[in-house]
Amino acid sequence: MTTAASGHGPLYLDACATTPPAAAVLEAMASAAATAWANPSSLHGFGLAAAELLERSRLGIASSLGCDPEALVFTSGGTESIHTALLGAAAPLPSGRLLISAVEHPATLAAAAALERRGWQVAVLPVDRLGRIDLTALESLLEPPTRLVSVIWGQSEVGTVQPIEAIGRRCRQAGVALHVDAVQVVGHRGVAFNRLPIDLLSCAAHKLQGPRGVGALLVRPDLPFVPLIGGGGQEGGRRGGTEAVALVAGFARALELCDARLAAHGGTDPVAALRDGLLRRLLDLPGLRLSGPDPLGGPAASDDRLPHHISLLISDTAGAPLSGRRLVPMLWRQGVAASSGSACSSGGGPAPSPVLQAMGLTQAEAASGLRLSLGPWLQAADLESVPEALMRSRAALAQADGRASSR
């Protein structure tokens, strides 16, 4: 099955769930699996070859993310990185308060719940109608017993990009450690960890055309930290388990491709132009509304939204919200792979999106979300058919429900 395009198979518009691995990534992984298959801790030549590739990949990833190689801990992906960050940074501290936002990914909610079971309090920072964290609420809660803050940099469901430097500066002033969930950001904008007021950062290779099963946690080297997974002392003693060298090599290659793309476009992700073209056409259609920040209001506005992200609220022609979850299979029949929200919440049950509800939408509106997320495998021509496919699937859904269905 191809990932694009009109006339050539289904169109993959679900980059925020995961991305198709780039051909160069598959090549790098195949070569690593064939030549660097040994245990990198082994002291013979086979092991040294694996260790050499692991460390070369670490240097490349560290240089791309602007951190020291020692700051980098390889994990199995975003969920593990987030758990390791929050539980690992909390462990050396006396129980206190963790601040998270109302629009976190379920992985952060799960890690926060684990801390609650260990005697921590969790306070939730409200967001506005665009999903932006209330900085005044943050300031007022940055006092004891708050000891840790975790914020999603780029929101997977509604695309909101938080002002991470402003948040980090406030945390630094208060002497409170900050973890940033950058799973949707890395690869789409330059990240210079050492220059940001951030203590821990999580990311995952599979969101940037790398392989599934590998991610990274960046930990500021002087931050007190207790590993979540012990074992043979790998990753500087911060994550036990034999390293997945071929996956790490694929991750490094994927980041190189992202860096080259960003560098060729003045530091911005060229997919934003494709996204803007599609978004303009979609917003001309009746019954479709954007959720989250509008990127079409100029360069400053476009910084407030992930460059590859469109999120819509879908209603029938009479204006009544339709089910995003039910629209997704209809859209697939029209040859478009999309999502009704974050990958995990769309698989997890029929509850309306807590993220959209936190942004002040009604339950019915919060069940009407549709996400189209793009990537470099797409060309503008591939997207030509999307508005028509969406109108057809919406009409099919409205008809199935006996609702207003004229197109």
The contact mask relative to ligand PLP for 47-86 (x = CB under 6 A, - = no) is ------------------------------xxx-------
Beta strands in 315-384 (DSSP E): 336-337, 369-373
The one among 83, 105, 132, 309 contacting ligand PLP by CB under 6 A: 105
Beta carbon of residue 182, minimum distance to ligand PLP (angstroms, whole number): 8
Would you count residue 107 as binding ligand PLP (CB under 6 A)?
yes
**Nearest position to ligand PLP, beta carbon:** 78
Cβ proximity to ligand PLP: between 175 and 347 the closer is 347
Beta carbon of residue 16, minimum distance to ligand PLP (angstroms, whole number): 6
Beta carbon of residue 343, minimum distance to ligand PLP (angstroms, whole number): 5
Exposed, middle or buried by CB within 10 Å (0-12, 13-18, 19+), for 298? exposed
Q: For 166, list phi and psi in degrees, rounded to 5.
A: -65, -40
Would you count residue 375 as binding ligand PLP (CB under 6 A)?
no
Cα–Cα distances (Å) from 216 to 72, 200, 202, 356, 383, in that order, read 7, 10, 6, 28, 32
Cβ proximity to ligand PLP: between 188 and 394 the closer is 188
Would you count residue 130 as binding ligand PLP (CB under 6 A)?
no
Active-site hit among 16, 171, 258, 344: 344
Beta carbon of residue 3, minimum distance to ligand PLP (angstroms, whole number): 18
Which single residue is written with the structure tokens 């051909």? Answer: 23
Would you count residue 339 as binding ligand PLP (CB under 6 A)?
no
Residue type, 401: D
Distance (Å, whole) CA 299 – CA 276: 12
- CA angle at 315 for the pair 314 and 320, rounded to the nearest 5°: 145
Would you count residue 371 as binding ligand PLP (CB under 6 A)?
no
For the chain, the maximum distance between any two Cα atoms, rounded to a whole number of angstroms, is 71
Residue closest to 308 by CA, chosen among 342, 274, 335, 353: 274
Q: Which residues contact 185 (CB under 8 A, 6 or more apart)?
A: 153, 154, 161, 191, 203, 306
Cβ proximity to ligand PLP: between 22 and 107 the closer is 107
Q: How many residues does the chain have?
A: 407
Cβ proximity to ligand PLP: between 168 and 215 the closer is 215
The one among 65, 133, 186, 204 contacting ligand PLP by CB under 6 A: 204
Cβ proximity to ligand PLP: between 204 and 228 the closer is 204
Beta carbon of residue 75, minimum distance to ligand PLP (angstroms, whole number): 9
Supply 311's token pair. 């999120």
The one among 64, 156, 291, 340 contacting ligand PLP by CB under 6 A: 156
Which single residue is written with the structure tokens 């790490």? Answer: 248
Would you count residue 311 as binding ligand PLP (CB under 6 A)?
no
Which of the ranges 34-42, 128-136, 181-189, 351-359 carries the binding residues for ligand PLP, by CB under 6 A?
181-189
The one among 102, 124, 343, 391 contacting ligand PLP by CB under 6 A: 343
Q: Is 344 a catalytic residue?
A: yes
Give the CA radius of gyration of the chain. Answer: 21
Beta carbon of residue 319, minimum distance to ligand PLP (angstroms, whole number): 30
Pairing label, strands 200-204, 215-219: antiparallel
Would you count residue 366 as binding ligand PLP (CB under 6 A)?
no
Cβ proximity to ligand PLP: between 208 and 367 the closer is 208
The one among 183, 191, 327, 389 contacting ligand PLP by CB under 6 A: 183
Cβ proximity to ligand PLP: between 287 and 307 the closer is 307
Percent of residues in the chain assigned helix, strand, coil, to nearest 5? 45, 15, 40
H/E stretch holding 333 reads helix 324-333
Buried b (16+ CB within 10 A) or exposed e, 214-232: bbbbbbbeeeebebbbeee
Distance (Å, whole) CA 370 – CA 341: 6
Would you count residue 275 as binding ligand PLP (CB under 6 A)?
no
Would you count residue 304 as binding ligand PLP (CB under 6 A)?
no
Beta carbon of residue 307, minimum distance to ligand PLP (angstroms, whole number): 15
Residues designated as active site: 344
Site residues, ligand PLP (CB under 6 A)? 16, 77-79, 105, 107, 152, 156, 181, 183-184, 204, 215, 342-343
